[in-house]
Chain A
Amino acid sequence: MTESYTIYGIVDSDRPAPEGIVGLHGGAVTNLPYRGIGAAVSALPGPVGDIATGAVRHEAVVERLMETHTVLPMRFPTVFGSPDAVVAMMARHYDSFHKSLCRLHGRVEFSVKVLCPDRSLPESAHPCDRERRPTSGRQYMQERYRQHKGRQVRQEQAAQWGIIFHASLGEWVAAKKVGTLVTDRLAFDGIYLVDMARQGDFRRAFANLVGEEPDLQYLLSGPWPPYSFIEAID
């Protein structure tokens, strides 16, 4: 296989990348410049290889770049055949990249997940549970209705929690993407775009939330590069 180039992200600088950043398969990360922005790339001597290992390395490079630049992280793996092809891609998408770099400058994302307790779930008969298995169409429909009502109640409850979370976290948030009752127990799944300078405030607001509903389990992860707030380019 001939040499190719993997891209880690688009950065808000056309100057050389900081020295010492090691990419996939030990390749040195360099910055390919174009009109004031750049593409952080490294040469690939062969196939990408193990996807999980490569993804971890990709993320490490993006986080390292974020120490000195605003970065639009690329989805992994994005591989081009030559530096010229990378620069041509930047030329095609320059306006989108420039706009996104301005919007995401100095911002990171956090993930908030909330799990509801077991007892809020309605009990349902397992198909193997002979004693509780519906024995008539009427019983079956009653069971289905009970499950539907249970889910409806949980959906309303999850929406209410979403309102409470936003009231607590919203002050520190530049943008958000939230989903409620994603699974039976994943009551709330929120991704928040936060100014780096305000992430301490965001964390404190989250910590205060944790005690509000002692039965819920709250999971916070971040700061992450703003992967979830990249608008579609193509």
Chain B
Amino acid sequence: MNETLSAENDVTLLEMLDRVLNKGVVVSGDIVISVADVDLIYVGLRLLLSSVETMQRLSGSVATGVLKEPAS
């Protein structure tokens, strides 16, 4: 797996975490467990995008691609 593909997989993972931890139905009242540091995921996504940018700058390549194949 080349670096670009590896980074794109990381983006996909972070996009997934961003959704699962920051979006979706939020209900309150009977919840007994919560996570206080979910904002870190946003930071992580920003950092990851920055690292993708840096990598491309270094390699001088412009990549395009589909990050996640459709569920079959």
What residues of chain A have their CB less than 8 Å away from a CB belonging to chain B? 4, 9-10, 47-48, 51-52, 55-56, 58-59, 63, 66-67, 72-81, 85-86, 88-89, 92-93, 97, 111, 113, 115, 117-118, 183, 185-186, 199, 203, 210, 214-225, 227-228, 230, 232-234
Contact = CB atoms under 8 A, between A and B. Distances in A.
Nearest to B30: A85
B25 to A, nearest CB: 5
Given A56-B16, A183-B46, A210-B64, A81 B23 contact: no
A141 to B, nearest CB: 28
B28 A75 contact: no
Contacts of A185: 49, 53
Interface of B: 8, 11-12, 15-17, 19-35, 46, 49-50, 52-53, 56-57, 62-68, 70-71
Contact of B22 (A75, A115, A221): A75
A197 B50 CA distance: 34
Contacts of A214: 62
Nearest to A215: B62
12 contacts: A48-B33, A78-B25, A85-B30, A88-B30, A117-B62, A118-B57, A210-B64, A219-B64, A225-B24, A227-B20, A228-B23, A230-B23
Q: Name the prevailing secondary structure of the A interface residues.
A: mixed
Nearest to A90: B27
B62 A75 contact: no
B29 A115 contact: no
Nearest to B29: A89
A219 B20 contact: no
Contact of A219 (B16, B67, B70): B67
A210 B25 CA distance: 33
Nearest to A210: B64
Nearest to A58: B20
